[in-house]
Amino acid sequence: MIASRLKRNRKPGSHRGGLHGMSALIPMIDMLTILVVYLLVHAADYEILPNTKSIQIPQSVSETKPHETVTVLITKETMFVNGAEIASVAALESRADPVIEPLKRALRTEADKRMLKDKADPTSHEVTVLADKDLPYRFVKRVLSTCTAAEYGKVSLAVLERERAFHGQGAV
């Protein structure tokens, strides 16, 4: 569209060789569009963990960034493994078993689906637990124990990074 306008506005005596006026902007606009798309795709540095508004996770000071693992999400009402609903929290809390069997089955299914690094080496199996901060710790402890019982060697509890207070010069 712009190129057709430029051709109509061309003076009869002008040569066809170079780009003049507005026609010089077209390649520059194309390059800027490509640059913006590249930056949007490759420069995104954000957490891999799912973000949900239904839970509030506790805060902590953390040095390492998370990487992709099997995710157990526990809201106040429901438990999920990688987005699939497992059971209601109320039903799971009412049981006295130290291991939560529906969670254990789901974790083993995820391990089989993902063909984790080394099935014989449980330390290579990783799971991240995202739990609402208002859940009782005894329940979260049972979830963490179930992850270990499902042969996951690395169990992480997700927390929000808390800003550190400045304590003056030379503070660590």
18: DSSP letter: S
Check whether 68 has a pLDDT greater than 80: no
38 & 63 share domain: no
Q: How far apart are CA 128 and CA 93, in angstroms?
A: 20
37 & 78 share domain: no
11 & 94 share domain: no
How does strand 70-74 pair with strand 84-88? unpaired
* Under 8 Å between Cβ of 42 and 60: no
Which residue range forms the structural domain that includes residue 119? 59-161
Q: pTM of the prediction?
A: 0.56
82 & 131 share domain: yes
18 & 78 share domain: no
What is the per-residue pLDDT across 10-42, written as a single tens digit (0 to 9) for each? Answer: 555 555 555 566 677 788 888 888 888 888 777
Q: Is residue 50 part of a domain?
A: no
Query: Average pLDDT of the chain?
Result: 75
Average pLDDT over residues 63-72: 73
Sign of CA dihedral 41, 45, 50, 52: negative
Q: Is residue 49 part of a domain?
A: no
Which residue, 63, 62, 79, is CA-closest to 160? 62
Angle (CA) 112-118-120 rounded to 5° is 90
Q: Is residue 152 part of a domain?
A: yes
Q: Is residue 100 part of a domain?
A: yes
Q: Is residue 103 part of a domain?
A: yes
In 10 A of CB 80, how many CB atoms? 18
Number of domains observed in the structure of the chain: 2
What is the per-residue pLDDT across 78-100, written as a single tens digit (0 to 9) for each? Answer: 999 988 888 888 888 888 888 88
* Under 8 Å between Cβ of 74 and 137: no
In 10 A of CB 101, how many CB atoms? 13
CATH code, domain carrying 114: 3.30.420
